Amino acid sequence: MSNIKGNGAVALLKALHAGGAQICFANPGTTELTLVDALAAVPGIRPVLCLFEGVCTGAADGYVRVSGAAPLTLLHLGPGFANGIANLHNARRAGSGIINLIGDHARWHLPYDAPLTSDIESLAAPVSVEVIRLHDADAIAPEATRALAAAAAPAAGPVTMILPADIMDAEVAAGPDPVTAPPSRRAVDAARIVVAATVTERGTGTILLLGGDALAERGQRAAAAIALKIGGRVLMEPYPAIVPLGGDLPPIERQAYFPDDVMQQMGSADVLLVGARPPISYFGYAGYPSQLVPDDRLFCLTTPEEDGVAALESLAVRLGAAGHAASANPSKPEKPAPAALLSPDGIVSCLIERLPEEAIISLEGSTLGGPWLRNARHARRHRVMTNTGGAIGQGLPCALGAALAAPGARVIALQSDGSGHYTPQALWTMAREKLPVTIILAANHRYGILQTELDRAAAPLEDPVIASLTRLDNPRADWTALAAGYGVPAVRATTVAEFDAALERALAMDEPFLIQAELP
């Protein structure tokens, strides 16, 4: 920015706002200052400052998962964008429509290879469904429309706009507001329903594997009714973007993680995909196939882009599957004694009791992720977001974005310490925006998943080098101090009673609060 005399940036933001954008997660630099100035001039787009770009992109992802409305991010050139890539990777896997705005050097300055110049397109392509560079001011309105449409497509992903500073500074005539059709999922044709019905009649105890949109409440209910009718089972994909659970929803099993577990779980059943991808191994393990259900037992009712809910309801009608049993409401897991040392089960049992209705949980890490998803049915109705792409550092930013998308809802971050260390700066924005986020920080001071993998491979965990690369206990991070540093009050809990008291306190607060849950 050099003069802020034009209004290219204003025209862009007005078009994006007219198309639905209401929030902008920002970490601006000099090339974005005209856009900062424009945010002051365009009412209706709430600017939310983050201290690190990975917080911006993870928060945007959480925001769109909860609200369905495309948020903006504002990021500084290639290097600033690069810091947001990891969470955009997850957002792309989640199908989250986010519009990234990246300021770039003025077009006439770009050839001089100033220090911050880089190949932004090359950085953006792997995590964007569209990369749009503005080449002149006349393109502002049509390209905004294109970005909005791409971000609104079902199961789409991030759209990245590269905005040269001179175009943002340019004097432009106001264009018409973008015409954006409401996004809709493609309905599948009747033949697909007939095929699916035939599959269920093969008598293999068909598994309905639900993912994406199909995991909405109506989808889950229709799937449960079908499973009851055909003697099948309902599973959810292992890492849903967002899934409602608990309350009177039917219980739903989660696809396992390790290939041997998945193969055992799937048995010899046919698998009908409804918005889910075929079951594959998270990593490649010698001796196991990548695809864990063979092609001849794998059938597709809907792809992630199609209307899974409508297809499930059609299939239910065709099969005469009229309803499902109320949740079996099996007895809740036993709560450990108050004086017991804290464990994942202890945390989960306390949270089952106290989780408020319509809470949103941001899950990151296997320490609490597995235990929660096995027990979520016992809690009041809530929604869970998981790490869709495996890029860690998602949990805290996603919780932040969710809280901004659902004012009044309680947000809980069930966060492992190892992954929490990638984006702790999210705590600062939670404090700044006074968001009711309760962070349950599972502090086992190690990379548990790496130890598990090494142990499966019979590697010596106690070898000094291996230990030095998998243990985080020298020094042990003090998350209560980190939280305080960012303005978030916090306590440490080592017993079930301490944790439960801290949880009660946290849930009574209108602001963020962190509980460092010490685990073995």
407 contact partners, CB below 8 Å, separation of at least 6 = none
Among 155, 85, 66, residue whose Cα is nearest residue 123: 85
Q: What is the DSSP string of 276-327?
A: -PPPB-SS--TTS-SBSS-GGGEEEEE-TTB-HHHHHHHHHHHHT----PPP
The answer to whether 421 contacts its own copies (rule: CB under 8 A) is yes
- For residues 149-208, which are near its own copies according to CB under 8 A? 165-166, 169
Among 344, 393, 397, 436, binds its own copies (CB under 8 A): 393
Q: Judged by CB, which is closer to its own copies: 114, or 179?
A: 114
Among 217, 285, 366, 489, binds its own copies (CB under 8 A): 285
Bridge partner list, 273? 209, 300
* 378 and 333 Cβ atoms separated by less than 8 Å: yes
Residue 86 binds to its own copies (criterion: CB under 8 A): yes
Site string for its own copies, 291-330 (x = CB under 8 A): x---------------------------------------
Place of tokens 């292992």: 238
Please give the order of strands across the beta sheet that includes 513-518. Answer: 243-245, 382-385, 359-364, 411-416, 437-443, 513-518, 490-493
DSSP assigned state of 275: B
Q: Which is nearer to its own copies, 1 or 249 (CB)?
A: 1
Q: Which of 267, 283, 325, 357 binds its own copies (CB under 8 A)?
A: 283
Q: Which residue number, 250 or 395, has a Cβ lying nearer to its own copies?
A: 395
- What's the CA gap between 243 and 231, in Å, rounded? 23
54 forms part of the interface with its own copies (CB under 8 A): yes
Name the segment binding its own copies (CB under 8 A); options: 220-228, 244-252, 372-380, 390-398. 390-398
| Closer to its own copies by Cβ: residue 197 or 466 | 466
Instruction: Looking at residues 209 to 248 of the shown chain, list those that interact with its own copies (rule: CB under 8 A).
Output: 239
Q: Which of 184, 264, 290, 329 binds its own copies (CB under 8 A)?
A: 290
Q: Residue 432 carries which side chain, given as an amino acid letter?
A: R
Judged by CB under 8 A, does residue 339 bind its own copies?
no
455 binds its own copies (CB under 8 A): no
Q: Which stretch binds its own copies (CB under 8 A): 75-83, 219-227, 317-325, 332-340?
A: 75-83
Q: Shortest approach of its own copies to residue 65 CB, angstroms?
A: 16
HSE-up (13 A, CA, CB side) for residue 297 = 19
CB of 454 to its own copies, least distance (A): 6
The DSSP 8-state label assigned to residue 376 in this structure reads G
Q: DSSP letter string over 168-216?
A: HHS-----PPP--PPP-PBPPPHHHHHHHHHHHTT-S--EEEE-GGGGS
How many of the chain's residues bind its own copies (CB under 8 A)? 104
Amino acid occupying residue 464 = P
Of the candidates 305, 350, 284, the one whose C-alpha atom is nearest the C-alpha of residue 497 is: 350
Nearest CB to its own copies, comparing residues 220 and 429 = 429
Residues 462-501 that bind its own copies (CB under 8 A): 463-466, 468-470, 472, 474-487
